[in-house]
Homo-oligomer: A and B are copies of this chain.
Amino acid sequence: MTLLNLPADKEISQIEETALFKTISSEKISKILAICNKVRFREGDTIMREGDEGDSIYIILEGTVEVAKNLILKDGDEGEENRSNKVFTKLKADDHPVFGEIALLENAKRTATIKALTDCLFYEIRNSALRALVEEDHELGFRIMYNLATIVSSRLRLADEEVVKLTTVLSIILKES
């Protein structure tokens, strides 16, 4: 992981494409850029681990990451817990997706493990810096929190659909057995 300092001119458009920073004026985007650090990870690096404390959010500028969650499988009669990872999704740089953003809300634990599938370049934003910014500029705070709620809400919709699908499959299996 290395820190780079590059000029911030053409970078405003990258930030504007990020779902978390939609409908925010260029002037306010500059304030966000001022607290972004560019960080690189190598193919195979783990960027965050499920269960860890989270204190940064990331925006993908280059590369692809995978998002994986633990499954808990009971093994043998002793019922020891055996954790195996399931890959839920991949995120690519195309729309500059954000991850780790839940930690903006609470000092919550990471809900997934994120690994670099290729060499990656991210913007990293410390929560403490972003929180200070949104408390100082409430319009910016309003837009970011609206976007964050929208992102989380669309993830909730997908998770809810998944629950309904899995419950349906289970009830069919249990009916047949």
Could you list which residues of chain A lie within 8 angstroms of chain B, going by C-beta atoms?
69-74, 86, 102, 104-106, 108, 111, 134, 138-139, 141-142, 145-146, 148-150, 152-153, 155-157, 159-160, 162-164, 166-173
The winner among A69, A73, A160 for most chain B CB atoms within 10 A is A160
- Report chain B residues within 8 Å CB of A141: 138, 142, 145-146
A166-B157 contact given A105-B150, A139-B138, A149-B145, CB 8 Å threshold? no
Report A100 CB to chain B, min CB distance, Å: 13
Q: Do the beta carbons of A164 and B69 come within 8 Å of each other?
A: yes
Given A105-B150, A156-B155, A157-B111, A73:B168 Cβ within 8 A: yes
Instruction: Return the chain B residue nearest A156 by Cβ.
Output: B156
**Which of B73, B162, B164 contacts A70, CB < 8 Å?**
B164
